A and B are shown apart, each in its own frame.
Chain A
Amino acid sequence: MIAIYLVAALAVFAAIRATVEKNTGRKLPYVNVMNFAIAGTIVLLLNHPLALVAAAAYFVGSTLEANAIASTYAGGEQRG
């Protein structure tokens, strides 16, 4: 029972740290922790096999977003 409150609290903590951090490169690892915590919260809230698919879809989607933000921040793909 304590697990879900702990995980939700860590999501809030990570979100606050991501908001306070100004440097984009160092902001993304905090967002990553928040994504882990939210994916965990989804499954802890909904104990159903489809909750796993929802958590994985959320996690992979948010990771791809972080990947895109980081790669754009790095200068993006060099074309031509």
Chain B
Amino acid sequence: MLGELFHILAAAIISWILFVTVDIFFRLPEAGGVSGASAIARDIEAGGGALSGGTMMGNIVCSPDASAGTLLAACGVYVAGIPGGLVAAALVFIGNRICHDPGYAGTTGAVLATFVVYGFTQVGFAATDFIAGMVIAILTIQGLSHAHASRLLARLWRVRE
């Protein structure tokens, strides 16, 4: 029980680093992909947050990004191993096109996460640890404090620039 909790927390940290790195690499904080993402960013800024971090959070809401890719890839690896993860990546690609997202952050994140999650299942982790871990990781960005999360993302974005 305690071992599983430890695994979930470790998986959360790994997923967090993975999806934030991929999203920032694909320049999600730069501009809102749709007008709704920019509106969310303005509201987060009005609530005491940073605009570029808010833009990334708005983009995460409006289209499946690397965080969604990581979650669905972990789900895919859980139900069907590496082929499941790659099917998840294809579904994320379709999801991106449905949501008018021209980018490839979600698809890239899903493919990378498939191999990361599969690798960790070879060393004692379960794919379910990564499903729960990814939900915790997205909670820290989108669900606890928008002001603090957006400022942290803005700081990481400045490093990328």
Task: Give the interface size class of chain B.
Answer: 35 or more
* Cβ < 8 Å to B, chain A residues 35-80: 36-37, 39-40, 43-44, 47-49, 51-53, 55-56, 59-60, 63-64, 66-77
Q: Are B135 and A7 in contact (CB under 8 A)?
A: yes
CB closest chain-A residue, reference B41: A25
Q: Are B39 and A17 in contact (CB under 8 A)?
A: no
Q: How many Å from the CB of A35 to the closest CB on chain B?
A: 9
Q: Are A63 and B95 in contact (CB under 8 A)?
A: yes
Q: How many residues of A contact B (CB 8 A)?
A: 50
Q: Are A73 and B146 in contact (CB under 8 A)?
A: no
Selected contact of A29 from candidates B34, B40, B87, B134, CB within 8 Å: B40
Question: A59 and B76 in contact (CB under 8 A), knowing A7-B135, A71-B36?
Answer: no
Q: Are B135 and A25 in contact (CB under 8 A)?
A: no
Q: Are B136 and A10 in contact (CB under 8 A)?
A: yes
- Chain B residues close to A by CB (< 8 Å): 1, 4-5, 8, 34-40, 42-44, 47, 57-58, 60-64, 67-68, 71-72, 75-76, 78-80, 84, 87-88, 91-92, 94-95, 98-100, 126, 128-129, 131-132, 134-136, 138-139, 141-143, 146
- Chain A residues close to B by CB (< 8 Å): 1-4, 6-7, 10, 13-14, 17, 23-26, 28-33, 36-37, 39-40, 43-44, 47-49, 51-53, 55-56, 59-60, 63-64, 66-77
Known: A51-B79, A67-B61. 20 other contacts (CB 8 A): A3-B126, A3-B129, A13-B143, A25-B40, A26-B43, A29-B143, A30-B142, A33-B135, A36-B134, A43-B131, A47-B79, A49-B80, A63-B95, A63-B99, A64-B98, A67-B62, A67-B63, A70-B37, A74-B35, A74-B36
